[in-house]
Amino acid sequence: MLNDKRLIWRLRRADVDALRQLYDKYKGDLLRLAVILTGDVCQAEDVVQDVFLKLVDSYHRISIRGNVRNYLIACLVNRMRSLQRGAGHRHEIALETPVTQMCPGPRPDQWAVLNEQMQQLSAAMRQLPPEQREVIALRFEAGLGFRRIAHMQQVSINTAQGRCRYGMEKLRSVLHSEVTHEARR
Return left, alpha or beta for 105; rule: phi > 0 is left, psi -120 to 50 is alpha, else beta: left
pLDDT at 112: 56
Does residue 125 sit within a domain? yes
Instruction: Please tell me the total count of domains within the chain.
Output: 2
H helices of the chain, in order, are: 2-12, 16-38, 41-58, 68-87, 108-126, 130-136, 146-153, 157-184
Same-domain status, 54 and 111: no
Q: What is the CA radius of gyration of the chain?
A: 18
CATH number of residue 84's parent domain: 1.10.1740.10
Does residue 154 sit within a domain? yes
Task: Report the alpha-carbon distance of residue 161 to residue 155 in Å, rounded.
Answer: 10
8 Å CB contact between 49 and 79: no
pTM above 0.75, yes or no: no
Task: Report the alpha-carbon distance of residue 99 to residue 27 in Å, rounded.
Answer: 15
Same-domain status, 84 and 112: no
Same-domain status, 183 and 109: yes
Same-domain status, 15 and 82: yes
Same-domain status, 87 and 54: yes
Domain housing 139:
103-185
120 CB-near residues (< 8 Å, 6+ apart): 175, 178
Does residue 98 sit within a domain? no
Same-domain status, 77 and 134: no
pLDDT at 154: 94
pLDDT at 97: 44
Sites in the chain below the pLDDT cut of 70: 1-2, 63-65, 87-117, 178-185
pLDDT at 64: 58
Same-domain status, 132 and 167: yes
**Last residue within a domain, chosen from 54, 75, 93:** 93
pLDDT at 90: 45
